[in-house]
Chain A
């Protein structure tokens, strides 16, 4: 077996066999799902509370509108005055008392509707109540004006502009959101991956230095072989961990939603039901659903996936070689701080440009420039691709990235070569520059 394969294998096995790595691999998704389950459970607890709202409708116009649901029970009071009603409601510890007075016309009533309660009521509850009264009140007013509310409903026009590119591709505003989600997810994933596993490489280099094995290794293999083996081995371990996270996380999520999900869905039934009914009844909305599927199909998925792989590898290698160089330059992890800024800065810049500028204008000058600069291009370009980037631009950006990686790895290897044998002194940028010339 050649050196590179040997080193890669050792780095991979060493990471994978590490206890804390194993624990993190299996614990992280558990923790995430546990948090999710906890939130679901708490929401459910919250929803289990049945609110009893007493209604005193002296106008007698709205009584029929308040139909009880699973979580909200309406208790319609009759033949009682407001003061007595308040007392009763308070004693019964009900959620609140809705008071609709009697008046000559709807507007007068609307001005005087009151809600009494112990504490401030939930906004959602108030909105529900207000919506009901509003709809009924509008219908009454329409009828009073001699208009048929059903007719008005039929006359409503729902406009959603149909978008199409010159090339004949149908898109929609929805599509833009979707593209952003895809691009954003890809860019953010890369960002997280670089930070987590770049650090891991750096620590692994520092470990070799502090354990003083480095000179023994380096008398058998070339530093560049060690550097590359380390990067590849650690990356493979990282990718394995990532895949396990996704698999376990997905599986547990399914299980958890199977246990809690039904109840969660039940408690939200009323809302969802309305939404689903609305969609079913509304051909426009049905079209939207179709559009989402159509939009996903319209995304340059093949392009996105292929470029995701290339930019992911390219961007990750570029940054991890820098992480390795930093690891080689210092003696312990606390000394790395001063060198981290130049690594983190372009990454954060890329994320900001991605989430602010690319949304605004995916093909604007700023977006374009940053999708060529190698230190930001992996993130920014991945965010731009769903919006349709000419292949030559992608390839140019990729070529720049690979070229820069090549140069960076040479520099990193130089710093690495010198740095791994330097002990005791906390290096400055000036020292690093000097090492490049050794």
Chain B
């Protein structure tokens, strides 16, 4: 698989503080890449290096096979976490200005802006000043400006903060649509539910070091602990508990059901299979609930950060 962006052994120091320590990431073409990490881990620094806002002290960034150069600015669309617009400028003027800074001609910019403004049904905002818009409305403009020049690489830093659920959904759909059209997306966040939904690759940065990266499915496989959540209807509760205890590692589980089942978390070891567990269970009562516990990104995140 070819990579759109490769960052190799990036080191960045701010005075005595090392913001990034030998961090490498590889972003596959056409993927949605989640860049995760607690606050202050170094996500924004890495993104700024990719955007050439700051230079790395060591290491290199390769975009689409070339060393990063200033003309690559046009290939990247960046929606920073700290974002805003000129308050006293009109929406249209401002969008045109920012589009031209990205290298679009005025006519091109106008045409594409018209498309997006129609799509978001905000054409009548053209002559309004930003200060007259709500925060969510301003965010829509920022989103449009970010994607307007059709960059190969889109970088969103906490894109959903400030959006209500409806608009967040709208933006999410647009991001997926852009990926369909061939864009690669880097998505920095610490909101894990959106990662779960969108990302197919992730990298986790913690205290300036990359502690985890890869395909999301692979990571989940790696983190799963052969744990099953079960619900069993039986009259002989203590007998069944004793029976299971002798064969497996079990603990009390809590989940909602409509019957009065016994609820367990059952861990099987390498030599055992799920099928064996099921046959043991069905021999003792009626099996009403059987789910393999797959770690959520949230669990992986917390577990990884705490272990480091």
Contacts and interface: CB of A to CB of B under 8 A. Distances in A.
Contact of A213 (B48, B52, B76, B83): B83
B51 interface: yes
B53 A1 contact: no
Contact of B70 (A212, A213, A222): A222
Interface residues of B, number: 28
Nearest to A1: B100
B142 A216 contact: yes
B86 interface: yes
- Residue of A208, A215, A434 contacting most chain B CB atoms (<10 Å): A215
Contacts of B73: 219-220
Contacts of B87: 207, 211
Nearest to A5: B100
A213 B141 CA distance: 12
B101 A3 contact: yes
Counting chain A residues whose Cβ lies within 8 A of the other chain, the interface size class is 20 to 34
B145 to A, nearest CB: 7
A289 interface: no
Given A14-B89, A212-B83, A421-B53, A219 B97 contact: no
B102 A213 contact: no
Contacts of B48: 421
A311 B85 CA distance: 36
- Residue of A3, A219, A222, A417 contacting most chain B CB atoms (<10 Å): A219
Given A3-B101, A220-B73, A221-B101, A215 B88 contact: no
Interface string B89-118: 100000001101110000000000000000
Interface string A396-425: 000000000000000000000100010100
Contacts of B52: 219
A417 B78 CA distance: 18
A395 interface: no
B82 interface: yes
Contacts of B255: none
A224 B133 CA distance: 31
B98 A438 contact: no
A215 B15 contact: no
B81 to A, nearest CB: 8
A437 interface: yes
Given A421-B53, A437-B15, A438-B14, A211 B100 contact: no
Nearest to A14: B89
A361 interface: no
Contacts of A222: 70
- Residue of A1, A3, A220, A434 contacting most chain B CB atoms (<10 Å): A220
A417 B14 CA distance: 13
Contact of A215 (B80, B89, B97, B100): B80
A216 B98 contact: yes
Interface string B196-229: 0000000000000000000000000000000000
Interface in B33-78: 48, 51-54, 70, 73, 76, 78
Contacts of A218: 53
Contacts of B89: 14
Contacts of A6: 97, 100-101
B239 interface: no
Contacts of A212: 82-84
Contact of B101 (A14, A215, A217, A417): A217
A78 interface: no
A18 B78 CA distance: 29
B86 A211 contact: yes
Given A219-B78, A437-B15, A18 B88 contact: yes
A10 interface: yes
Given A18-B88, A213-B85, A219 B70 contact: no
Interface string B166-208: 0000000000000000000000000000000000000000000
Contacts of B53: 215, 218-219, 421
A423 to B, nearest CB: 7
A18 B48 CA distance: 32
A10 B97 contact: yes
Contacts of B54: 417, 438
Nearest to A225: B101
A438 B45 CA distance: 13
A47 B9 CA distance: 86
B86 A220 contact: no
Nearest to B100: A6
Interface in A197-223: 207-208, 211-213, 215-222
Contacts of A437: 15
Given A219-B53, A219-B76, A438-B15, A14 B86 contact: yes
Contacts of B14: 438
Nearest to B77: A219
A207 B131 CA distance: 13
Nearest to B16: A434
Nearest to B146: A216
Nearest to B89: A14
Nearest to B74: A220
A216 B97 contact: no
A415 to B, nearest CB: 14
B82 A423 contact: yes
Nearest to B57: A438
Contacts of B15: 434, 437-438
Interface in B260-295: none
A364 B146 CA distance: 60
Given A219-B51, A219-B73, A213 B101 contact: no
Contact of A219 (B80, B84, B85, B86): B80
Contacts of A211: 84-87
Contact of A220 (B84, B88, B102): B102
Interface in A216-246: 216-222
A219 B73 CA distance: 7
Given A3-B101, A222-B70, A216 B83 contact: yes
A272 B21 CA distance: 83
Interface in B139-154: 142, 145
Q: Which 5 A-B pairs have the closest CB atoms?
A: A212-B84, A215-B80, A220-B101, A211-B84, A219-B78
Given A6-B101, A219-B52, 10 more contacts: A1-B100, A6-B97, A6-B100, A212-B83, A213-B85, A213-B86, A215-B83, A216-B83, A219-B51, A220-B101
Interface of A: 1, 3, 6-7, 10, 14, 18, 207-208, 211-213, 215-222, 417, 421, 423, 434, 437-438
